[in-house]
Structure 1
Amino acid sequence: MGVGAGLLTLVAAYPGAKLAGVTDPLPFSVWLWFGVGLAGVIVLAVGWRTAGWWRRGTAVVAVALAGLVCANQINRFVGYYPTIDSAVNDWTDTPLPGQVSMSGLAHTAGTTKLPPVGRLVAVNIPATYSHFKHRQELVYLPPIWFRGERRPALPVVELIGGERGGPGDWVRLGNAVQVSDAYAHRHHGYAPILVFADATSRFDNDTECVNGPRGNSADHLDQDIPHFIEKMFGASHDPRQWAVAGFSMGGTCSLDLVVEHPDVFDHFIDISGDLAPYTSTPAASLHDLYGGNVALEKANEALLVMRAHGKYTNVNGLFLTSTEELRHQHESEELSTAAAKVGIWSRVEISPGTHVWQFAAPAFATAYPWLANQLALPAGPRHETRHTKPA
């Protein structure tokens, strides 16, 4: 019975991942241990009445161990917790390395000596325009921000993670702070401000960065955050100096936010994003993200948005995907071709890897100098009014 239950589970679970909302492929070892665990549960339920206490206890332990191994296999694959310490620190909300409070930030600003590294500060950004119930977010300030009383109006990059995660993922898993510090070290302390944004409000709330039943995520990203960062940290107001970069869901968001709001953002790095905002199936996406509103869905599909908008100015970006992601490769090429028709320069880059943070982190590190160069203000004024929604 146990073998039969295990085989049945594997047959049902492996191709049925999409039905469970798991749209990214998991290795066979995950489904193997999932099958073992579920088989144990079935055997335990069927034989509970007739089994002795020691068999019951052994079965319970075996099921628990199978579940633990399955969870560990998933973690090894996605790289979400590289070490036990990183898991404990995340669960206990331990401050990230280099993180300071807003009050601590005031004591370090205005120095005459350039700090060796930047600082990470936790911020509570008012949801003035979106009313989006987001979590605490993080801002990286490069060394140049701390020197002198008159700070330069620095460029900004919003960083968005996957559908399941939090604002700190780009710090813990994407190594974005180390990448930026290394760049600043080579450029006399200069680097963009990084905003580690919360696009989902909680771990399992896949908003795809749109306004809808799951919250006004788009308004938070293109209204709340820019206004706060510009006012609090003296950042640039120029869309030529604002960018969005993201992985997985965040990759989809990066392109969508730029083509929908070129008055706010001009540059994107789309790492393994989808063709359009998507949850598990087309019907589920329409329901979950837009409450069944087809017009709203079309207003958030990059291909349709670009076609309706027409010619863009000074907008560019990168599509980064891995050798194992054939669908993402095709979709990136399709998006890049459509972008070129409306004046958006882009390039598709394919590197070894698969749809995991172990691929996204080095891909971002490689693309970072290109992005920093794009954010350097070009010659000549640009007059474009930012469209602000009523608070």
Structure 2
Amino acid sequence: MNMVLDGNLVHGAIPVAVTVAGLAAGALLLFRRDRRWWSRTMPIVTAACAVTTFLLWLVVDILWKPFPDPVPRSVFAWIGVALFGIGLAIAWQWRSRWPRRGVGVLAGIMVVLAAGANINAHYGHFPSLRAAFELPPANEVPFTSLNLVTGTPIPRSPGRALLDGWQPPSTMPKNGVVTQVSIPPATSHFPVTRSAYLYLPPAYRTSPRPLLPVLVLLHGQPGGPRDWINGGRIATMMDRFAAAHKGLAPVVVMPDSTGSAFGNPLCLDSRLGHSETYLTGDVPGWIKRTLQIDPDNRTWAVAGYSYGGTCALQLALRKPDVFPTFVDISGQDEPTLGSRARTVDEAFGGDEKAFRQVNPIDLLATRGYPGSAGVISVGRSDSVFLPQQKHVFEATRRNGIKVTWRETVGSHNWQAWSAGLSDSLAWLAGRMGLIKQ
């Protein structure tokens, strides 16, 4: 059963087989020995699907703009294919007997599945059936079963990397674990609706344990805390790092940073909610009270992709004492609801000055960050966000922040996002005091 649930839905035989089956089903739906089918039904279905797809693009990317980043044209193309399959399947129901109607329905479903498989292959959001059905990861354990605090932890030697003075006990588990827990918005009252996910590395599961640094990972919009578990495969990434470093890796906390799948609070305190206070106050406070970790924020870092990348940069610039280290993956050059005017109006009641006081580019032009450092990463095929990331990179360089530029494979998808963090992990570990810089 695990082999079925964990089969790769992004690469390999499964998405290819589904695509081939969908194309065959579409060809079956197209074939009818009926002149009226070709002269009337087909043109109507084709025109209706084309118009619907165009209107969907117009509403989502031009008028409504519910997401901070545009939906790729290839995704709309596959949506059009799905609509076409549905339209043909519906047309098959007319003047057909029941066996033929059933074939039409099944063929339409296969076309929709093929379109969905290719959209998922573009983003890499659901790597397996387990992820698609929101089933618990194979390495997830109940939060209540964890021994979060043991005896006196092993102290860090001043001036030395944690790895240099660490000898793992023979009883240390080979892999880390994933768990989920609610982090309450005690101060911010930000409307959190979903549990946070945690990754605890092998070294955390020892007694006594070393005081490990903390990495806060932020998701995109639309999205949620589990996205780093699914698309980012964060546990596999961190387990691989831990295996090469005597079980040491950061404790990773993935909070609900938007309040809902489609929420966009701009990662700041405004009329849209106090998400900044939640992420820089409530979340760090809960971590220090609940987990046995290094409480020194100089060893902490924040990272994210897309909306979460923009958010990581914002938090690092607004609260450098909390997050002196950041990784901005495929972020924007400013927080947005689709346009500067709409953002200022809805979040700040039209007060442009209030917006500039929290906007990263403006902060970089007016404030110094002597202790901060970061990575700006983007997929080299990301035509929308690559120029924005270059804008951010140049602004950080002018400011004097120690910043590294990375271009990875991929576009605005998990191929680029996962690579952005993975390629930065050794640098992060050095900044966090895990290994020598």
How does the TM-score come out when normalised to structure 2? 0.75
| AA of the residue aligned to 2:189 | H
Name which of structure 1's ranges 314-323 and 73-82 shifts more when overlaid on structure 2: 73-82
Q: Match for 1:26 among 67, 72, 87?
A: 72
Aligned-pair identity in percent equals: 26
Indicate the larger mover: 341-350 or 277-286. 277-286
**How many aligned residue pairs are there?**
370
C-alpha separation in 2, matches of 1:141 and 1:123? 13
Gap change, CA 1:292 and 1:62, over 3 Å in 2 = farther
1:180, distance to aligned residue in structure 2 (A): 1.5
CA positional deviation for 1:188: 1.7
Determine the C-alpha separation between the residues in 1 that align with 2:59 and 2:394. Answer: 33
Match of 1:85 among 108, 119, 130: 130
Shift of 1:124: 1.9
Q: Look up the match of 2:138.
A: 97
Q: Take 2:97 and 2:70, find their aligned partners in 1: how far apart are those partners? A: 39
Which residue in 1 is equivalent to 2:182? 124
Contact kept? 1:276, 1:300, Cα under 8 Å: no
Name whichever of 111-120 and 359-368 sits farther off: 111-120
Larger of the two Rg values belongs to structure: 2
156, 180, 185: which one aligns with 2:243: 185
Give the one of 144, 159, 164 matched to 2:222. 164
Task: Give ranges in structure 1 of 5+ residues lacking alignment.
Answer: 380-391
Question: Residue in 2 aligned with 1:211?
Answer: 269
Q: What SS class does the counterpart of residue 312 from structure 1 fall into?
A: coil
CA distance in 1, matches of 2:71, 2:351: 29
Q: Is the 8 A contact 1:130 1:219 kept in 2?
A: yes
Q: Deviations over 1:88-112 (max 9, x none)?
A: 2x1xxx3323222233112996695
Moved more, 161-170 or 8-17: 8-17
Structure 1 residue 355 displacement after superposition: 0.4
State which of 198, 211, 221 in structure 2 corresponds to 1:139.
Answer: 198
Contact 1:130–1:220 (CA under 8 A) maintained in structure 2? yes
Task: Judge which range, 298-307 or 28-37, deviates more.
Answer: 28-37
Give 1:350's aligned residue.
407
Match for 1:77: what amino acid?
Answer: H
Residue 220 of structure 1: SS of its match in structure 2?
Answer: helix
Q: Identify the range of structure 1 (100-109 vs 31-40) with the bigger mean alpha-carbon deviation.
A: 31-40
Confirm or deny: 8 A CA contact 1:37 1:63 kept in the other structure: no
State the TM-score, normalizing by the size of structure 1: 0.83
What amino acid sits opposite 1:180 in the alignment? M
When structure 1 is superposed on structure 2, of 347-356 and 328-337 the one drifting more is 328-337
Q: 376, 382, 385: which one pairs with 1:325?
A: 382
Q: CA RMSD in A?
A: 3.3
- Write the deviation string for residues 174-193 of structure 1: whole angstroms up to 9, x where unpaired: 12222212222222222111
Give the C-alpha shift of residue 212 in structure 1: 3.0
Counterpart AA for 1:86? A
Partner amino acid, structure 1, of 2:290? M
Deviation string 1:47-83 (CA, Å, 9 cap, x unpaired) is 9xxx66879x789888766655544432222122122
Is 1:194 aligned with 2:252? Answer: yes
- Counterpart amino acid of 1:144? A
Q: Which runs of 5+ in 2 are unaligned?
A: 1-43, 152-167
Distance 1:137 1:179 in 2: 18
Distance 2:54 2:252 in 1: 44
Q: Distance in 1 between matches of 2:95 and 2:345?
A: 49
Superposition deviation, residue 342 in structure 1 = 2.5
Question: Displacement, 1:322?
Answer: 1.1
- The equivalent of 2:24 in structure 1 is none
- The one-letter amino acid paired with 2:139 is G
Check if 1:152 corresponds to 2:195: no
